[in-house]
Amino acid sequence: MIYPIPWLLILIVSIPEAFLVLKLGFKLCNTNISTKHSLITSIIVGISSYYIRKTDIVFGLHTLITIILLTFLIWILTRIKFIHALMATLIGSLISGVLQSTISTILLSLTKKTFSDIVSNPILGIFYFLPSGLMMMFLYFYLKYRKVYVLDLKMYSED
């Protein structure tokens, strides 16, 4: 069973993480997505993650379910092409995963904590998310300022 997460982590980690995944993924695809749509989707996904984590599924499958949910919700809310929503969500999730795994590995090594310590102490979970969350936020603003993207989905949009 996947470890359940408290509501505090939903509010401070899950919702902001989903928001940043969407904003960063769509920015890297040179597609704008409204803050309103990102926020609505992030709140729904955050609440859903609470219940997903309570189910008896294989560890890691919750991430796939979350990506699918993010994709479907943003597709429904924005009417963007499904494949574009999927690509942006996957790119944002990939960046988030790389940052979190890299930063968490470094922090676990520096603090001599274990994954079990983080699971048993929600406050540690928050502190371990903050560096990668801040890095995602800074990356988003850098990309926005420099107008950098890896995939131009606007090129494939019907105007």
Taking the chain (159 residues) in consecutive chunks of 10 residues, what is each chunk's mean pLDDT?
A: 76 96 97 96 95 82 93 96 96 96 93 86 89 97 93 75
101 within some domain: yes
Residue 1 belongs to some domain of the structure:
no
pLDDT (0 to 100) of residue 158: 64
Q: Does residue 150 sit within a domain?
A: yes
The tally of domains found in the chain comes to 1
Location of structure tokens 């991430």: 63
Q: Which residues of 36-58 are buried (b: 16+ CB within 10 A; e: fewer)?
A: ebbeebbbbbbebbeebbeeeee
Note the pLDDT of residue 155.
78
Q: Is 121 part of a structural domain of the chain?
A: yes
pLDDT at residue 3 in the model: 65
Instruction: Return d(Cα 140, Cα 146) in angstroms, integer.
Output: 10
Query: How far apart (Å, rounded) are the C-alpha atoms in residues 141 and 27?
Result: 9
Residue 131, pLDDT score? 95
What is the rounded CA–CA span in Å between residue 32 and residue 84? 12
Residue 114 is part of which domain span?
7-154
Q: What's the CA angle centered on 143, arms 141 and 148, to 5 degrees?
A: 165
Per-residue pLDDT at 77: 96
Give the pLDDT of residue 6. 84
Asked whether residue 159 is assigned to any structural domain, the reply reads: no
pLDDT at 59: 74
Task: Tell whether 20 is covered by a domain.
Answer: yes
Tell me the pTM: 0.91
Residue with tokens 């944002």: 92
Q: Cβ neighbours of residue 118 under 8 Å, at least 6 residues apart?
A: 124, 125, 128
